[in-house]
Amino acid sequence: MTAEASRGASAPPELVQLLTPEGERVEHPDYDIDLTDEEVRSLYRDLVLVRRIDLEAVALQRQGELGIWASLLGQEAAQIGSGRALTDADMAFPTYREHGVAWCRDVDPVKLLGLFRGVNHGGWDPEEHNFHLYTIVIGSQTLHAVGYAMGIQRDDANAATIAYFGDGATSQGDVNESFIWASVFNAPIVFFCQNNQWAISEPLEKQTRIPLYRRASGFGFPGIRVDGNDVFACLAVTRKALEAARTGQGPTLIEAFTYRMGAHTTTDDPTRYRVASELEAWKLKDPIERVRSYLFKNEHADQAFFDSVDAEADQLGADLRRRCLAMPDPEPLDIFDHVYREPHALIDQERAQFAAYLEGFAQ
């Protein structure tokens, strides 16, 4: 099978899947989940609302209201499934694309936009939400997450950390170093890799010769590959891995096999490096449609429910747009205020230099 075919219609045989693309419930010998009808409807609502947030943000960027945006389109199930597996005590370390996890941690969506609009450095309190600020440097958050996990270990707390990263980040030294530290110290952490097949324009075969989850064995801890478009499977697999971490069984690597349906960011043009047939094949695996099909086929939701979720999504999108446009621009010198907790001579010098530069425009 060619690399292009493996990214298309064929699913890897070792994939953990509990809900097929057609919306059929299937069993797995090692991973299962017992969800009420209300819980499934709640997951569906999460998926729809998070996609609406993402689409609104893309539109805002195209209209010049955001400097850039990293879309999660196609990866909603991986983020909602893993995000809903977290307890209040667990700590999440995101990249810059985990808008769905932010939703699960009750971060106001408009605060995500502040970073990309250039009006703040992140906008939310990581301690309040147990959700770290977005990390732009590829892979560095994995080291932060391991350090935090080692702190949990020493505090003897009933908690774990989860570190998010993409397939491209697995080639970064920071990620591999974090694997070593987590393994050697048996840290309570889950490494959650959203393998969306593309590291900007570089395909997966440029990152690895083996499935990414199998790398974990070389570091001495288990790895598992899950259908990243199956919210049931992502929830079940992440729950089990987090519980293992909390009970002293050490780290786990989860590879969520999914697909980046949009551009890497809004500055990217994916038509230059991937074929349309690949995208069309993955449209058939849409994470929202499979849950909708499951609910409809099993008569767990009626049309009124779907209409109400769509209406809520439209209202959320409109509110997000309104509040984004109302965000005040900060004073230019505010950028220096929170670099260090205490006064710092170099920052004071740079502030004075920038102030002098700005004064030149007023003359």
Q: Give the residue numbers annotated as catalytic, written as ranges.
A: 260, 264, 273
Residue of 286, 285, 176, 269 whose CA lies nearest to 220:
176
Q: What are phi and psi of 289, to 5 degrees?
A: -65, -35
**Secondary structure element (H or E) that encloses residue 54, with its range:** helix 37-62
What region, left, alpha or beta, does residue 314 occupy, with left being phi > 0 and alpha being psi -120 to 50 degrees?
alpha
- Residue 218, C-beta contacts closer than 8 angstroms, at least 6 positions apart: none
Rounded CA-CA distance 119/97 in Å is 18
Q: Which of 135, 116, 137, 118 is nearest to 126 (CA)?
A: 135
Asked if 133 contacts 127 with a C-beta cutoff of 8 angstroms, the reply is no
Q: Helix or strand or coil: residue 347?
A: helix
Asked whether 260 and 287 are in contact (CB, 8 A), the reply is no
> What is the C-alpha to C-alpha distance for residues 311 and 183, in angstroms, rounded to an integer?
46
